[in-house]
Amino acid sequence: MVISGPFAVSQSRPDTIGYSRWAPAARLKGLLETLQAHDVSLLVDTRLQPCSSQLKGRYGPKDWTLQSGAAGLAHHLGRIGVEYLWLSELGNPQRHDPDMAVLRAHLEDGGMRWPVNRGLELLRGRIEGDDVVCLLCTCRDAATCHRTVIGEAVRARYFGERLDVRSLT
């Protein structure tokens, strides 16, 4: 559905999803099935570091991490026709701060010297296009995750009431 106005948008919402909703054994399957069920065409990874910090072995890397070649999240998304886009600019710069004070201050400032504001510009362009966008992070609970702050910021800054942010998890 196309919504008209100062910016035409191809959807009435950007979805968000947190892959920790599923146990590790079911994580990739649950993520892919949910994206397909909601006709997502573009998954925007908002993790600051989507690669595993673990070397190959029992604890890493996993299918939901960014890897090279025929492995990892981008590969699996491509197999179901979903584009993967990592926007590191949208990552929470202080991920262990539950109040997200630095992220919120950078958003409030609005200046392009802060990565998150450059990331919002890039995200806006994809929402205005033909993509059905979903923002990805690790967090199970959208209410306490920075992906919701990002979704609300792009809505408030560029689209107003013409855009809703909803969680698929």
- CATH 3.90.190, domain 15-50+63-167, yes or no: yes
- Comparing CA positions, the residue from 80, 154, 92 lying closest to residue 122 is 154
SS3 of residue 146 by DSSP: helix
SS3 of residue 128 by DSSP: helix
User: Please, what is the average pLDDT of the chain?
Assistant: 87
pLDDT digits (tens, 9 = 90+) for 46-101: 998 877 666 666 666 777 777 777 788 999 999 999 999 999 999 999 988 999 99
pLDDT digits (tens, 9 = 90+) for 132-143: 999 999 999 999
Measured distance CA(145)–CA(160) in Å, rounded: 21
Measured distance CA(78)–CA(143) in Å, rounded: 29
Q: Cα Rg for the chain, rounded, in angstroms?
A: 16
113 in Cβ contact with 107 (< 8 Å):
no
